[in-house]
């Protein structure tokens, strides 16, 4: 890896570590209507969560993320479902603080090494993890987490890859989040259970805030040595 790219990687890693300190839960958010973005972000922040993943799954996603960035400065907005170098560039231009992908192609990993935005590539297998590590990405998204072997898989990966840190997403909810977070190589978990689409469409912001508070309280009560 060229020296300038290696230096950029170190800077990204430092920024990402600082951001993930605001975890340990990253809501995975799908927004269908632009007008839902800002009140949803405020509801999550009121409940105690600042890290937000706005997925690029709907036409409203980019504009909603832009509105949140502009109107809710407490929010730490990340762009998810980044599939191409163009998506990554859009996230950076938008002013997102970080970006995530459910997977990673060589073209996307290459683009991410030359981008200043902290990036979390997705992996599901040891070979995919090896490729991400080869490009300098030590923090990865384990997706789909439950379908890819769950907690036993991450325990197994800890042996040959002690330097890797994971943000598992997919099949995680309020019942099992604390079990994932108990793993030493898990630094955060992602999930959509915090803000289900039915409650977003209904504008049930108080329900989302209350669930967020309850989840954080439950994790705090059940936390132990990591």
- Strands (DSSP E) along the chain, which ranges? 25-29, 51-55, 76-80, 98-100, 119-120, 122-123, 139-142, 165-168, 189-191
Instruction: Look up residue 140 and give its DSSP letter.
Output: E
Residue 96's region, left for phi above 0, alpha for psi from -120 to 50, else beta, is beta
Active site residue 53: yes
Active site residue 141: yes
Residue 144's region, left for phi above 0, alpha for psi from -120 to 50, else beta, is beta
Name 128's Cβ contacts closer than 8 Å, sequence gap at least 6.
103, 104, 122
Of 14, 35, 53, 110, the active-site residue reads 53
Distance, in Å, from the CA atom of 37 to the CA atom of 31, rounded to the nearest integer, reads 7
Of 35, 74, 138, 141, the active-site residue reads 141
Q: Which residues are catalytic?
A: 53, 141
């Amino acid at each position: 890896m060229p020296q300038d790219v290696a230096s950029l990687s170190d800077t990204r890693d430092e920024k990402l570590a600082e951001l993930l300190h605001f975890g340990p839960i990253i809501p995975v958010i799908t927004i269908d209507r632009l007008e839902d973005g800002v009140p949803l972000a405020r509801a999550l922040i009121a409940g105690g969560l600042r890290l937000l993943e706005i997925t690029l799954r709907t036409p409203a996603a980019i504009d909603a993320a832009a509105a949140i960035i502009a109107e809710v400065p407490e929010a730490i907005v990340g762009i998810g479902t980044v599939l191409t170098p163009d998506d990554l560039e859009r996230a950076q231009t938008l002013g997102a603080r970080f970006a995530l992908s459910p997977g990673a192609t060589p073209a996307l990993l290459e683009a991410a090494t030359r981008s200043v935005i902290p990036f979390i590539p997705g992996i599901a297998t040891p070979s995919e993890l090896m490729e991400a590590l080869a490009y300098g990405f030590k923090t990865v998204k384990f997706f789909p987490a439950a379908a890819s072997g769950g907690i036993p898989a991450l325990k197994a990966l800890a042996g040959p890859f002690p330097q890797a840190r994971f943000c598992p997403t997919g099949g995680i909810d309020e019942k099992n989040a604390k079990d994932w977070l108990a793993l030493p190589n898990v630094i955060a978990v992602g999930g959509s259970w915090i803000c289900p689409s039915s409650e977003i469409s209904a504008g049930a912001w108080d329900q989302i805030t209350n669930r967020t508070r309850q989840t954080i309280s439950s994790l705090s009560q059940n936390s132990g040595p990591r």
